[in-house]
Each structure stands twice: as structure tokens, then as C-alpha cells.
Amino acid sequence: MNDPSPRLSLSAIIRDRAPTVWCAGDDYDELLGTYCEAANVTRTLLKGKMNIELAAIEYTPAAPYSFDYMRHAYVGANGSTVTYEGDVFGENMSPLIRICLPDRRPWPEHFRRSAHERKYPHGSSLPIFADDWQGSNDIHPESSLQKKLQKRSVELVPDVPNQSLEDMEPVVGSGREQDSTVRLGWHETWATAMLENRDHYHPLGNMTDIFWDPAEEWGVEMHLQRHFDQVMSVNEVEPWIYEEQDEDSDPLESRGVESYEVRATILRVFVKNSWFIRARQEPENQDEEDTSGSDSEGEHEDDVEWM
């Protein structure tokens, strides 16, 4: 086995704004949102024993590491312009978690400087612009910032008991205007159960699970908790939202969830030998290729590296 490092670094980023509507045909310099580092800290991980069952080295945080995040479904009506030219950014986005060697950065991707830097000092925020996120050639090419961020990150999905990847998409209905849509939140059984438990002050449901990166080279054991504040943890879709639907639409029989809050606690991290081999082969403190979306002539000369 490749010699495992006695220490690793771990960082989680969360999106700090509710979902927003943007149009693909509009200004590509549009600021879509901002990622920020959860709990404003990169946590040190300490090497432990070999986990025979997972064929991975166990690491534990040098100090307790918990953070809160909110999962949002965009609710409300969108006109035909959004239907044909736009999209909703930031809907249903989960935190992203990464590990790295102690002398590397967990997020070496390039991001342009933002007018928000005064509010969020460099090193604690990560502004996302439309052209960076979608890439220059297609809405979701493999070279887009979205794909780059997800490639070697752990994503916390699903994060609710009885939730599956197949039922995590919010409901979208037809609006009153031609070619318009109405986004109606989550209406699956797991969403209904959370609302009913909240109404009766019952626990909203906790879970402990291991979430793996796409290559399954490393995983993080998380405890996800939803009952620390029952009143504020789950937000229901307002009744007036349903009135925006087309008159001929079948009414939804279940109540809908607009957003829910989760407190995440990192328990253990499991790292396989293949991760150490790849991590030591990568160039130090730089991404494998430029992710700014700029051309060779330096269109974005203010690009910076975050963390």
C-alpha cells in the first residue's frame, strides 16, 4: 500500500443563498451565487486504523466538526422566457466535501474576483458566475465548473430517511400563462413525513451513513440531524403558490416542502490506497487544468485561486 499520510485536511462548502432564476441568453457575467466554507474552517484529520471491511484507512477529525446547511427547492411561477432560455440556479444543491494532503488546497479551482469580496473576504467565499458554472461550449459540459467541483467531492445525497436519488427532484407544474411553469417544492412521502412529524413535535428523522466520492476512492461517515429546532428545520410551501398553476392541472394531494435544514457532523473519513496514489501524482496546489473558462489571451485576468 502507498504510505498513508499521518494527517489530511478536510473542507466542506455550502451555498449561502436561496435559489435564483437566470437566463442562459443573458449576461454571462451574472453572479449566480456564492459558496462559502462551512463553519469557516478547514479541519485536520488524524490517521487511525485500517478498516478491513472497507479496505481503507480510517481518519478522524482532530476536533469536532459540525455545520448546518439548508436544502432549497425553488417555488413560484416562471414565465416563458425562463422556459426557453433560462434555468433555476441553486435548487436542491447539497454541500460538497473534499479531502487533500496537508500541503495542498482542497479547492484549487480558479474563480474570478467578485464585488462580494468585501462582504466575504478572500479565502472564505467562492463567487460563481454564469459562464464559469456552465462552461463556454454547452450548458453542462464536462469542463464546466459544476462538473469540476463534483468530480472529486463527496455530495450529501440523499440526506433524509427514506429519501432516494429518484425522488429528490421538486415537482414542476404548468402555469396559468402560456409556456410558463410553477415550481411546487417536494411532495414525496419523505417530505410529507417531515411535515407531519413537525406538526406533532416528533423527531424529524436522523441518519448516519457513509457518503462516497464518484470514484469511490474515499468516503465520509456523517451523522445528519433534523430535530435540533423543529419549528425552523422544515419550511412548507405556502398555499398561494398552488394558485399559480394552470386551471386544468390536477391538484396535488400532498403537502409540499420548500426547504429543510440539516446539522451535519463528520464522524470518520475512509481513504483507499488509490486516492493516495492519485493525490501524490497531481501537481502541487493547482487544478489539473484551468477551470476559469477563460481563453489563452487572458480574458479574465483577475482570476484567483480559492483556498
pTM of structure: 0.85
Would you say residue 198 lies in a domain?
yes
Residue 141, domain member (yes or no): yes
What local confidence, expressed as pLDDT, does residue 256 receive?
A: 96
The pLDDT of residue 293 is above 70 = no
Parallel/antiparallel/unpaired status of strands 86-89 and 20-23? antiparallel
Give the mean pLDDT of 226-241.
78
Summarize pLDDT for 79-109 with one digit per residue, the tens: 988 888 888 888 998 999 999 999 998 988 7
**Is residue 255 assigned to a domain?**
yes
Q: Tell whether 62 is covered by a domain.
A: yes
> Considering the domain boundaries, does residue 33 fall inside one?
yes
In Å, how far are 205, 232, 262 from 228, measured between CA atoms?
A: 11, 9, 9
**Domain presence at residue 204:** yes
Q: Quick one: pLDDT at residue 291?
A: 37
Q: Is residue 2 part of a domain?
A: no
Judge contact between 72 and 18, C-beta under 8 A: yes
The three grid cell numbers given for residue 256, joined into one nine-digit string: 409540499
Residue 124 has pLDDT above 60, yes or no: no
221 has which bridge partners? 210, 268
Residue 153 three-state SS: coil
Is the separation of the CB atoms in 170 and 183 below 8 Å?
A: yes
The range of the structural domain enclosing residue 63 comes to 7-291
Distance between CA atoms of residues 71 and 234, nearest Å: 10
256: in domain: yes
What pLDDT is attached to residue 290?
41
pLDDT one-digit tens code per residue, 14-24: 987 789 888 76
> Which residues, 6 or more positions from 245, have their beta carbon under 8 angstroms from its beta carbon?
173, 174, 175, 176, 182, 184
Number of domains the chain contains: 1
Give the pLDDT confidence of 23-62 residue by residue, as tens digits: 766 555 677 778 888 877 789 999 999 999 999 999 999 9
- Look-up of cell digits 419523505: 190
CA-to-CA separations, 35 to 18, 124, 135, 262, in angstroms, rounded: 12, 9, 18, 17
**Average pLDDT, rounded, for the chain:** 82
C-alpha of 280 from chain center: 26
- Indicate whether 233 pLDDT > 60: yes
How confident is the model at residue 202, as a pLDDT?
83
User: At 285, which amino acid appears?
Assistant: N
